A and B are shown apart, each in its own frame.
Chain A
Amino acid sequence: MKILRLLPALALLATLAFTGCKPKDADIKASIEKSLKETPATSGVMVMVTEGVATLSGEVADEATKAAMENKVKDIKGVKSVQDNTTVPVATPPVVITADDPLTSAVRDATKDFSEVTATVADGVISVTGEITAARWKTLKMALDGLRPKKVDAAGLTIK
């Protein structure tokens, strides 16, 4: 009989124990943040947790870091799923400057039909001198810019 009287208490205890096993969103968030801070590459990522769904945002350096981070977060207790909204910045390719030898021959090719100007190459800079019409200079400048020079110096050029 005693046990019957204890039943509501036991039920309450069981409920408490059950909810106790399930980490709260705030606790999950704290665990994820702690885990992300262990790696400098992911220390700047922001975390939100709603009913066990972890949402990550911010920027990470590369795809490998992103993938590793997702796996790590997935394994954290209480995380049901991961919504990874972090972005990887697009790498800007460096400026490529053509070396003087190939640039010199490319400039010679490009200026072959532009006898009114003289073009020289030094340290990647194409210097153009002479007198030319605006339309022909536009055509020539388009061609020269396509040769990947360091600069097209037209200070000595006069537009007719």
Chain B
Amino acid sequence: MALQDKYKELTDAATASGITDLAVREQDGVLYIDGTAPSASVKDQLWDIYAKADPNYLAGDLVLNVKVSYDAAVTQVKVTTESSNLNIRKGPGTDQPIVGKAAHGEVITLVSRSSDQWWMVRTKDGEEGYAYAQYLTAVE
């Protein structure tokens, strides 16, 4: 229960901010918090609260798996890499061959969300493949 106390502010905030499918479990010295946030800002807010209890996230006693709910109607995504081009691959994995690239800041078509990590996209040139979802931001 000690971990639940340590991260009480976080779990309270998760409950108050409308996280759906919220699950909080403690197992073998690690606290697991899973759920879906209504927006990216709610997720960011939770990570800021996490940092209050564990600055720099180094303690290794919390796995905070909060996804952001998405609007199924969204079909356009923006490439939000730090600065480089985004690889588009034949399959979902960095071991898969690159079939195309999308430039930083470019808006491309979202075909489907295959998994939490890999989304299927199509570039303006019609190249279709998988891109790492972390570098894609929905265009409302």
User: Which residues of A pack against B, CB within 8 Å?
Assistant: 92-95, 105-106, 108-110, 112-113, 134, 137-139, 141-143, 145-155, 157, 159
Contact = CB atoms under 8 A, between A and B. Distances in A.
9 contacts: A112-B132, A145-B63, A145-B64, A148-B65, A149-B63, A150-B30, A151-B61, A154-B58, A157-B58
Contacts of A112: 94, 132
A155 B60 contact: yes
Contact of B25 (A95, A147, A154): A95
B56 A109 contact: no
Contacts, number: 66
Given A138-B51, A157-B58, 20 more contacts: A93-B23, A94-B25, A105-B93, A108-B95, A109-B117, A110-B134, A112-B94, A112-B132, A113-B82, A113-B84, A137-B56, A138-B47, A138-B57, A142-B64, A145-B64, A146-B67, A150-B30, A155-B58, A155-B60, A159-B58
A154 B60 contact: yes
B93 to A, nearest CB: 6
A153 B61 CA distance: 8
Contacts of B41: none
Interface string B70-110: 00000000000010100000000111000000000000000
B32 interface: yes
A92 B94 contact: no
Contacts of B64: 142, 145
Contacts of B65: 145-146, 148
Contacts of A147: 117
